[in-house]
Structure formats: C-alpha cells, structure tokens
Structure 1
Amino acid sequence: MAGDLLKDLKRRVEAIIPQEVNVSFVEFEGPELVIYTEDPKKFADNGDIIRSLAKDLRKRIVVRPDPKVLIDPEKALEAINEIVPEEGGINDAYFDPDTGEVLIEADKPGLVIGKYGETLREISRNIGWTPKVVRAPPLHSATIKNIRDYLRSEKDSRKEFLRRIGQKIHREPSAKDNWIRITALGGCREVGRSSFLLSTAETKILIDCGVNIGSDNNISPYLYIPEVSPIDSIDAVVLTHAHLDHAGLVPLLFKYGYDGPIYTTAPTRDLMVLLQLDYIDIASKEGSKIPYSSAIIREALKHTIILNYGEVTDIAPDVKLTLHNAGHILGSAVAHFHIGQGMYNVAFTGDIKYERTLLFDPTVNNFPRIETLVMEATYGGRHDFQPSRNEAESKLQSTIKRTIERGGKVIIPAFAVGRSQEVMIVLEDTVRKGMLEKIPVYLDGMILEATAIHTAYPEYLNQSLRNLIFHKGMNPFLSDIFVQVDSSSKRQEIIESDESCVILATSGMLNGGPVMEYLKNLADDPRNTLIFVGYQAEGTLGRRIQKGWKEIPFSSGGRTATIKINLEVITIDGFSGHSDRNQLLNYVRRMRPQPSKVILNHGEERKCLELANALRKKLKLEAIAPQNLETVRLV
C-alpha cells in the first residue's frame, strides 16, 4: 500500500516539475517526503518548484542528492580542503547521509562560501554533497562530536527506521470515531516526572518522560497503566526540553519495547544525551539503581528526529506538530498539536519563561488556533512574585562582595543547563565593568560542556547575545575568569585554598554531583555563602537547607555523617527559568487566540490550585489542576 502511494506521488511530482529536472526516486523518511535527484542544484536554483510541490502534495518536501552522485566522505573532505583557502580555518566537516548534506565548520565562513557563493558551488560540483557552512563554535563540544560520529556510524539502520516511520505517519487513517483525551502520567500537582499521554482514536503521543530526582518512591511516570500499555502502542514521543524531570526516563521506553520516533529540537537532543549520561554516572557512583545503560541512550538517540522552531510537521495520520520557543533553556519548546482536519488544537508549554532573559527571547504565545493549553504552574502560587532581573543581579553582586570581604567562598549549586550560563554572563559582565574584583569562577561538573553546546547553537540565543558574540567579538563564555575543574585533586585544592572564589557546580538541587564535595567541606565555615539561583523541589536537600535545616545527614563510604550548616544561605529567585505568577497570568491573558481550557501541571498542589482559581476568576477561563492518573476528554 505504501509502495503504491509512493509511486503515485512520484508521478505527481514529475507532472509538476520541469521536464529537464530529473527525479531518481521518492521516499517517506520520517515526517518528510524526500525527492532524490542526480542534480539537486536545479531544484535549488528554482525555489518555486518545492513550494509548488508542498502546496499540491500537502507534504513536507525535502530534495536530496541521489546517493550514487555522492563521493566517499574521506575523499570529499580532501576535495573540500583543496578548494577552500587554508585561512578559511576548516575545523570539521560532518557528512549527514540522512540529508546528503555536509556541514562545514570554519573559523571564517565567508572564505568557504566565496564571492557570490562561488566556492560553495565548486564544492557541490566536485563532491555531490550539498554543502552548508557554519561558524565553528568557540568551545569544543565532545557531546556534539560523539553524537554526530554515532549517527554517521548508524546511517543504514537509521535510514531504515526513518522509512518505516514515514510509512506509518503517511498511512490512511483507519479510525471511524473522533475523540481526544489527555491522561496525566506524572508531574501533576508535583514537580518532577513530567509526562502526558495525548490520545486520539487513531494515535497515542507521549509528551515528555521525566524522572523525579527528589523522590524515593514516586520516581517515574505511570507507564504501566492500560492507556499506555503496551509501550510499543505509542506512536510518537515529543520532548519539550532536556532537563531530567522532563526527559530523564526517555531511554526507559526503549528498554521496555518502544521503537518509535522522538521529536525535539537539536539542542534538546544534545543536552538530553549529556544529562542522561551524567544521571546514570552519578547513580552508579552513589550505588543507586541505574534505570538504563548508555547503550539504551544511544538507541534513543538513533530514534530522535530533529525539528526547528516553526516547522509544521506530520507526526501521525491525524496529528501535526509545531515546536515554538519556550524561553526556558537552550532548545526548549512549546509543543503545539493540530489534530484532525481542523478538529482541535492543544499546546503543551513544558517549562516557560515569559520574559526576555540574558540568554533567550520570551516564550511564544501566538498560535494559528488553540482550544486547550496545558501549562506549568511552578511559581503559580498567590505569593510567587519574582524580583526583576536587575534586582537579582544586584543581590548576587552584593552577596559575592560581602563574602569576599570576610574572606569566604561562594558556592552556587546550579543545573548545568540554563541557570549556569545566565550566572556566568552576569559574573563576566560584573568583573569586566569593574563592579567586582577579579576572582576565579570555578566550573565543576558538566557546566563547561553544556556551555560549549550553547555556543554551537547561536540561533537559539537572543539577538543581543548573538550580536555580542558574532559582531562585536565579545563572547562572555570565554572569559579568563572561568576555570574548569577537571579532577578531584583540583577540587581539593580549591577547598583547601585560602583564596576567595565563586564555585559554580552541579547539581542544582544538591541531590548529588560535585557540589556535594564543596558543601561537605565548606558548610561549617560562617565566612562562606551558599546561593540558590534555581528552583528547589520538595524532598530535595536544597529545599531542606532553604527551610533552615542546620544539620544535614549524608552517606560516605558506607557510613552516615552529618554536615553542620554554618555558612550563609541566600536564595535569589530572579534567575529562575520559570515564569512567576504574574508572567503566567499574562502569558495566558495575552495569548492569541485565547484558549477555552487551561490544564495546569508542574507545580506543587497548592500552587496548581491557586493558579487555576486565578485563571477562572481573572480571565473567566475553564482551568483545572488534574491529579496524576486522571484523564481529561477534550472532544
């Protein structure tokens, strides 16, 4: 049946395009209809061809070179280096067999492109691959390199996977009924293990699959209930962002039989792998149960399909997905689903920031259509008002100055992704402008690697930061105040030193990671300061210290010891990647069009209920805060 459909589509393609344009064959590859040709330049030279095809066929059209015109990557790289002047500074070239493209990383992209694009055209003529050029990221990312190398090694099995998924997506719908339901699998009236199941008569889509780090009992979503079982009945997984409470247990799906696609942005894919590998590494070191192996993480990676913001994509016969900027962390997305032929539209925010930050533009809240909004309520309580970013920066600066004056050290526990980079920018700016004396800022854990991934995706940062990095030649992430901690001996040296410093270390909620070494050794000295810049979930060590606990038990070498908390403890809320109550209300108030229903999650019970009440009273909307395992019927 799929073969007949492809034959028909090939005939329709050939009827639309000019006669002189060759079509070798067409394939469904994931959500795309791919047209292979021996001469892709003819398509590239006439942009109207692809637009006409997309409009007529109502498919996402991609044109790629016929594999038989592509030369071996090693020989292609030799040809590229011969064509491009040496001063172009080619650092790497990544050949993507899925797309027939070669991504060339260069210090000076202009020299690779050439005058009026002539050098690029010469490369294409000689190697067959379609060249794309990007500025080489100033920080090397081992994660990105390993991901690219792995996907290249798995090109054949990935190609087969994409063809299989493509046929499944573009099949004819078989269900006769029309209904839509959302089932809460985790993250409702709590923070952690976020997961929803969006079901239609035709399709099951899992949105997020997180882990509850701060819980001993309710760690994972309810993946065993009848609505989800068997796991291989799920048609697609959509990830809003990479934090573990949203993506930490995605590999578990593949361990228990899932074999379908994961849809997300490119930064989320890379950061997700980084955080998952760190998660199982910490679990192993602490003697905790390891939920999956690194091999399963690679399996999930092989099934990941990358989408850009704003791309409308078929992910099932009756569902189209569009990802939009969420403003939370690098690559974070609001997932908007268009169901049926205009039947219903629902958006899942994941975590959002409805404010321009030092890193990102504010989250998107304009959609073509929306009937139901599923929204976070982390800071939805009636008293959850965050200070302005300027106030937060001022408080951070004054706290660090105060600590330095008394000869102490500052410990800032932070997630590797998001808050760490924001704090780094503030500290660099403060030192550069002479508002704070130059002291070392030690980066411990995955922070430097996560920062390198940020530099690889400048298009996801806000315009001001992009201009600063690429047009003014000032990259705050490269300041010499930042020092990587790359060994336990270096960590011990920092602890024993008499110098004042700032220590930025993972993990953000004090639930493991290198920050614990600093806390164990520095917590009893009242000259030191512990600064919280991110949310501390209920049940975590960070929340206990925030509440004023002065003695903290911990295990070391099979023995239980006690940390005395004598250092100063400060919480600075303005750096949060979550919107406060006012921002959440304004996000919905200014949404166009207005949803008729709002479903709240990702917040403690009281905060979810209070925000639901405010939405009902202030905006006259139907607002509910379901419990886990509840199902809400939309149609």
Structure 2
Amino acid sequence: MSTVDKQLEDVKATIDEEVPRRISVSDVTYEGPELVIYTRDPKEFAANSDLVRRLASKLRKRITVRPDPDVLAPPAEAEEAIRELIPEEAGVMDLNFHADTGEVVVQAQKPGVVIGRRGSTLREITQEVGWTPEVVRTPPIESSTVENVRNFLKQEREDRRDILERVGRQIHREPMSDDEYVRITTLGCCREVGRAAFILSTPDTRILIDCGNKPGANGEQPYLDIPEAFGAGTNGIDAVVLTHAHLDHSALVPLLFEYGYDGPIYCTEPTRDLMGLLTLDHLDTAADDGRTPPYDSEMVREAIKHTIPLEYGDVTDIAPDIKLTLHNAGHILGSSVCHFHVGDGLYNVAFSGDIHYDDTRLFDGAVNDFPRVETLVLESTYGGRNDYQTDQEDSERKLKQIIQNAYDRNGKVLIPTFAVGRSQELMLVLEEAMRNGDIPEMPVHLDGMIWEATAVHTTYPEYLRDGLQDRIFDEDKNPFLADRFNPIDGGDEEREEIADGDSCIILSTSGMLTGGPVMSWLDQLGPDPDSTLTFVDYQAEGTLGKRIQRGIDEVPVSGSGRNEKVPLEMTVETVDGFSGHADRQGLENFVKTMNPRPEKILCVHGDESATQDLSSSLYHDQNIRTFAPENLETFRFR
C-alpha cells in the first residue's frame, strides 16, 4: 500500500469518527489540492452545516463534499424541482448538471436570490434533489471564450478527474528528502521585459512560475532546456503557477505540454480563460505573419484542461512542502501576487508578477500584506530613476485634449493597446468623457479581441472594483454597453470605410505594434497628418511601437502580396499614466508599505538600467538586500 493510500485510510477513519452514523461515506479521495468526500446522504450533510467546517479544521485540509452518483435525481427531474424552489425573480437562465462531481451550475441574473438568506435555498436544493448547486451570474455581455472553456471542460470531465486525482496523490505524497533549502533560478525576464519564467525549487519540489514570450523578439524563449527545468526530463517540474494572462507571462505555457509536461497549472479562473483567448490569438497572429507557431491549438486545450483555478486568499497545498496563496495584483483581470510558504515555516517567497500599486477605474491596488515574506521577486518595468508617470487625472486630461485636437482637424485617433486591461480602462474613460461632454460624441471602434476580452471582464465582476460591479449589472448604467462602442467584425473592408469616414477613436490590438489589426490601421491612417497615433501602453525595446516613439517616419506593411513601407505622417503622442504597471514611485511604495518587510528583493522584468536603478534605490532607501539578477542565475536562500 502506498503512503498516500495509507494516508487516505487514516483520513477516512477520522471522518468516520466525526460523522454521525446516519451519514454514510462511500469514498474519500484527493482531487488536486482538495480532499473530496463522497456520500450517499448529501441531504444530511447539507442539513448539518457545521460538519464540513469541523472536519476541515481537524484534518487541516480543504474539503469538498459530493453526492455519490447513485443517489442523484435524474437531471430532468432535478431541473423541474430546482426551478420550483428558486424564486422567479432570480432570473434563472440555464442549469448545467455535472454528474462526475454531483454539481449543478445555476446561471441566474440575480445570484443572491438563488442563494437565499444565509444559503437557505441552496440547502433546500441539495436536500430535495441531492445535487450540489453552484451559482454563477449571467454576464451582461456573452463571452464565447468563457462558454467554450466551460463546454470543453464539461466534455473532458472524465480526463480532468483523472488528472485531479493524479495531482492530488502527488501533492499529498510523503517528502522524499530530509534536506532543507529554497532556491530560485531565473529562466527569463531578467534585465529585460518579457519571457517571464522562474523555477522555485526545494529538495522535493520544482515549481515553474510563468512561461512567457518576449515582445518584438521572434523566437526568444525562456531557458527551458537547462537541468533545473526540462533538461533533466519532463518529470522535473511538479507544478506551474501563472501570475496573469499577458503573453509575456503566459504565451509559452502550452509549449510545456510539447515538452511532455502533464502536471497542474494554478491561476485564477479569469486568468485561465484569458490565457486561452490570448494564446489562441497568438497562434493566429503568428500564422498571419508567416511565422511558424510554437505549438498547436491542441496544446492550448491541454493547458486549459490541466488548470486548477484558485481564488484570492485561499491557502492551497500544491506540493508536499509548498503552500500557495494568490492575492490581487491590480494589473489586469485575475492577475496575482503569488505567495509561497515553503516547508513547515521554513521560508516564504512572493512573486509580484506585474503589479499596479494604486487603485484604478477597474481594480483595487495590489495586495502587499502577508503573514510572512523573506524574499520578494519584484517587477521593475518602470523601475528606472526617471520612470515617474503622470497621475490618472492628468493622463485623462491629456488624452481628452489629444482627442479634441484630432476632432477639430476632422482626424482620427488610433490607440494601439492590449486587449486585456488597458482597453477596458480606456473604454471607461471615454464613455464618461462623452457622457459628461468633455469630448465630442463620436464612434469608438474596438478592433481585435477587445470586445471579447471585455465580455470576459463582465463574466467575473467579483474581480473588479465594487462600484464598477454595481454599474455593470444595471443595464442602463453599464458603461461597456454604451452605444458609442462598435466592435469591428467586418475586417479590412470595414476598416477602409472607417478610415474614409468622419472623426472617430480606434482602439486596436496589438499594443506594441508587433502584429495584429493595428498594422492595417497604420496602413490606412499612417499617411494622414490630421490623425493621431497615441501610445498609452509600455513599448518594449525592439518593437515597432518603440521605434515609432523614437522618431521613425515610415512603417512596414505586408499582406495581400504587398511588402512595402508606408510614410508615417500622423501626429505621434504618448500618454503616461494608463499603464497597468506601477511606476517607480508605486514600486517603492509597494515595498515601503509591505507587511512584513522582505529581507531580500530580486528586481526583475525591466530593462538593465531599470532593474539596476530600482535595486540600488531600494537598497539605499529601505536598507534591504537587493539584486538585479541576470538570466540563468540561481539564488539559494536556506
């Protein structure tokens, strides 16, 4: 008998002691980080609300109770009963039954009405039909990405359960070594922006944090072939943790499955969905540009199937000697500061991912309050000594003036931006400005994946600021549903009509002009001196966006047999303050107010001068030991 099986026997014995005799327990198993109890008496469990809490406290594990499939009412019969129990004003739109987990997902316009006072309606549902209800809000904008991901996971539920059981046994195995050490190896994004990837290792475990590409540098990947990663074989990595979905952090996660990786990916639920959206688009863009994609769409599906979503604040076992907690990073939807607790109080490491320290229109600022942190791995995108951005109010004022000036010339404003995060922030600014009369009413065209990414935002309102949540679910006040927003779906023909038309604003991917529909807009509008190209996002070294900021006066265009350069006669403007990254002051404030103060800081994800400037400043001002590592360095902390 394996140590895990013996452990499960002991756990079941403890459960049998605690559970009243009238409640049967048919099976106990690990599924991912959770201990799952199957019972033929789900109604009794539902009626005894303190029982699960008591068991979780005694066993010190996250517990999920599921009904034995044999006791579930047939879905058709259960649906009829559930609809009778839920008040009509809840606006139930759909019910999806998952026999493998015994869960029924109730999609409703008013989840609170479905839940009932202190969960009373949910308990009634379980007592009546045996199924465990999970309630989700009907999003005001339908997302094909979210729907496709959920349908795919439903189709793959048997494979997924096998994956979760295997992962669960791996997490709860006995430690294999008596040694104690913690190491971090840098595989990318050191003294550069992009291709984020790190290995956090102990004698028993190796965790890969992020695996992204490098904007503007075709083919430059993290150093995955070194012994600390996949050079020693595919069994070297126990888990992947993804801070957020931007491609410089997520683009090459599906590639891991080409290497033979078959383990879990931990991130928030919106990060999972956005990773699917952005990586599939990454493949399409590569094909459109005549480049060989680094993997195929099947690997994206594998990544989604292996993802285990976590919520902010949940302490989760991801290895025998590592617990993970995700916290809001304030950067984009679902972005996380990842806190790792190693061993039994041995050491604590936090990876900031990309952070925004101050509140924005979309998100609360990054969390920097932890039980313990000895080492912080900190992004340094705007870590240079002069990287101070204008505040939000001044940035918005400048953007409005740029738009007014272009409107007065009957020109257009082209804003290249990332589909996720900055686009939605800009939509909120533009909607309010037009509603208040700060700028003239005009169409705002959304090109690329911006509308779909916006739909994903409305699917996960709990990750947005409270005031925005309330507005999203008031149909008359939802800023994203304003009539002035026009998703582009007619391709180049529609773009030509817009380019020949009246003044307007165009938000288009890609944000760094590394491909995507913005290249078509440059072709159309580049020679127009009445129009304005406005940068609001960070432009990495080597990208076309950076070269334009430095003054080039023509841009390459290709496609349809063309391969030429177009003169760039548009006015070029840059508006600081809309970035999803903290500026130099924000990074310093994040560290200064961090509780507790870290003993060491690794400054990463910034160009060479930015990482070194920030490292030097934090050392002198905060009296903290700091490093500006290069790629392929390893740091031992214990």
Counterpart mapping for 1:189-204 below 5 A? 189-204=191-206
Other-structure match for 2:155? 153
Q: Deviations over 1:326-349 (max 9, x none)?
A: 000000001100000100000000
Any idea what SS the aligned residue of 2:340 has? strand
Cα 1:84–1:44, aligned 2, differ >3 Å: closer, same or farther? closer
Any idea what SS the aligned residue of 1:133 has? strand
Counterpart mapping for 1:283-294 below 5 A? 283-294=286-297
Counterpart mapping for 1:347-366 below 5 A? 347-366=350-369
Other-structure match for 1:281? 284
Of stretches 149-158 and 473-482 in structure 1, the one that deviates more from structure 2 is: 473-482
Other-structure match for 1:104? 106
Measured in 2, the distance between the counterparts of 1:72 and 1:153 equals 19
Q: Output the amino acid matched with 1:177.
A: D
Structure 1 residue 21 and structure 2 residue 23: aligned? yes
Which among 295, 312, 315 is matched to residue 312 of structure 1? 315
Q: 1:74 deviation in Å?
A: 5.4
Measured in 1, the distance between the counterparts of 2:344 and 2:501 equals 67
Structure 1 residue 491 and structure 2 residue 494: aligned? yes
Q: Is the 8 A contact 2:527 2:566 kept in 1?
A: yes
Measured in 2, the distance between the counterparts of 1:423 and 1:194 equals 26
Structure 1 residue 91 and structure 2 residue 93: aligned? yes
Would you say how many aligned residue pairs link Structure 1 and Structure 2? 634
Structure 1 residue 440 and structure 2 residue 443: aligned? yes
Cα 1:366–1:606, aligned 2, differ >3 Å: closer, same or farther? same
Q: Output the amino acid matched with 1:222.
A: Y
Q: Deviations over 1:441-463 (max 9, x none)?
A: 01111111100110011110012
Measured in 2, the distance between the counterparts of 1:148 and 1:498 equals 40
Q: Is the 8 A contact 2:198 2:209 kept in 1?
A: yes
Q: 1:162 deviation in Å?
A: 0.6
Q: 1:119 deviation in Å?
A: 5.0
Any idea what SS the aligned residue of 1:321 has? strand
Any idea what SS the aligned residue of 1:575 has? coil
Q: Output the amino acid matched with 2:467.
A: S
Q: TM-score, normalised by structure 1?
A: 0.96
Q: 1:120 deviation in Å?
A: 4.1
Once superposed, what is the RMSD of the aligned Cα atoms?
1.8
Measured in 2, the distance between the counterparts of 1:430 and 1:358 equals 13
Which among 558, 561, 564 is matched to residue 561 of structure 1? 564
Any idea what SS the aligned residue of 2:382 has? coil
Other-structure match for 1:42? 44
Which among 402, 415, 418 is matched to residue 412 of structure 1? 415
Q: 1:127 deviation in Å?
A: 3.4
Q: Is the 8 A contact 2:46 2:126 kept in 1?
A: no
Measured in 1, the distance between the counterparts of 2:101 and 2:390 equals 46
Of stretches 548-557 and 262-271 in structure 1, the one that deviates more from structure 2 is: 548-557
Measured in 1, the distance between the counterparts of 2:185 and 2:120 equals 54
Counterpart mapping for 1:392-411 below 5 A? 392-411=395-414
Measured in 2, the distance between the counterparts of 1:603 and 1:24 equals 53
Q: Is the 8 A contact 1:525 1:566 kept in 2?
A: yes
Counterpart mapping for 1:30-429 below 5 A? 30-73=32-75, 76-77=78-79, 79-81=81-83, 84=86, 88-97=90-99, 99-109=101-111, 112-113=114-115, 120-217=122-219, 219-228=220-229, 229=231, 230-429=233-432
Which among 9, 12, 32 is matched to residue 10 of structure 1? 12
Measured in 1, the distance between the counterparts of 2:334 and 2:61 equals 25
Q: 1:527 deviation in Å?
A: 0.4
Any idea what SS the aligned residue of 2:25 has? coil
Measured in 2, the distance between the counterparts of 1:287 and 1:445 equals 18
Q: Output the amino acid matched with 2:318.
A: I
Structure 1 residue 525 and structure 2 residue 528: aligned? yes
Measured in 2, the distance between the counterparts of 1:260 and 1:64 equals 24
Measured in 1, the distance between the counterparts of 2:323 and 2:563 equals 53
Q: Is the 8 A contact 1:97 1:155 kept in 2?
A: no
Q: Deviations over 1:416-435 (max 9, x none)?
A: 10000000000011111122
Any idea what SS the aligned residue of 2:270 has? helix
Other-structure match for 1:547? 550
Cα 1:115–1:380, aligned 2, differ >3 Å: closer, same or farther? closer
Cα 1:585–1:109, aligned 2, differ >3 Å: closer, same or farther? closer
Measured in 1, the distance between the counterparts of 2:496 and 2:198 equals 46
Q: 1:177 deviation in Å?
A: 1.1
Q: Deviations over 1:67-122 (max 9, x none)?
A: 22234545544554465566643323333456432221122445544678665445
Cα 1:200–1:569, aligned 2, differ >3 Å: closer, same or farther? same
Cα 1:584–1:43, aligned 2, differ >3 Å: closer, same or farther? same
Q: TM-score, normalised by structure 2?
A: 0.96
Q: Is the 8 A contact 1:326 1:334 kept in 2?
A: yes
Measured in 2, the distance between the counterparts of 1:94 and 1:286 equals 40
Q: Is the 8 A contact 2:458 2:472 kept in 1?
A: no
Counterpart mapping for 1:598-609 below 5 A? 598-609=601-612
Any idea what SS the aligned residue of 1:24 has? strand
Cα 1:237–1:609, aligned 2, differ >3 Å: closer, same or farther? same
Q: Is the 8 A contact 1:495 1:522 kept in 2?
A: no
Q: Deviations over 1:511-533 (max 9, x none)?
A: 11111111111011110011111
Q: Deviations over 1:564-612 (max 9, x none)?
A: 1110111111110000001101101111111000001110011000000
Structure 1 residue 452 and structure 2 residue 455: aligned? yes
Any idea what SS the aligned residue of 2:228 has? coil
Cα 1:617–1:476, aligned 2, differ >3 Å: closer, same or farther? same
Q: Is the 8 A contact 1:505 1:514 kept in 2?
A: yes
Measured in 2, the distance between the counterparts of 1:34 and 1:443 equals 44
Of stretches 361-370 and 56-65 in structure 1, the one that deviates more from structure 2 is: 56-65
Any idea what SS the aligned residue of 1:542 has? helix
Cα 1:238–1:110, aligned 2, differ >3 Å: closer, same or farther? closer
Q: Output the amino acid matched with 1:396.
A: L
Q: Is the 8 A contact 2:140 2:472 kept in 1?
A: no
Measured in 2, the distance between the counterparts of 1:252 and 1:225 equals 15
Q: Is the 8 A contact 2:42 2:126 kept in 1?
A: no
Q: Is the 8 A contact 1:73 1:95 kept in 2?
A: yes
Cα 1:176–1:141, aligned 2, differ >3 Å: closer, same or farther? same
Cα 1:540–1:470, aligned 2, differ >3 Å: closer, same or farther? same
Q: Output the amino acid matched with 1:26.
A: V
Of stretches 552-561 and 505-514 in structure 1, the one that deviates more from structure 2 is: 552-561
Structure 2, unpaired ranges of 5+: none
Q: Is the 8 A contact 1:326 1:351 kept in 2?
A: yes
Q: Is the 8 A contact 1:71 1:127 kept in 2?
A: yes
Measured in 2, the distance between the counterparts of 1:463 and 1:87 equals 23
Cα 1:74–1:634, aligned 2, differ >3 Å: closer, same or farther? farther
Of stretches 480-489 and 394-403 in structure 1, the one that deviates more from structure 2 is: 480-489
Q: 1:163 deviation in Å?
A: 0.6
Any idea what SS the aligned residue of 1:196 has? strand
Q: Deviations over 1:363-400 (max 9, x none)?
A: 00010000000000000000000111001111111111
Other-structure match for 1:611? 614
Of stretches 441-450 and 484-493 in structure 1, the one that deviates more from structure 2 is: 484-493
Identity across matched positions, percent: 56
Q: Is the 8 A contact 2:140 2:473 kept in 1?
A: no
Measured in 2, the distance between the counterparts of 1:146 and 1:127 equals 28
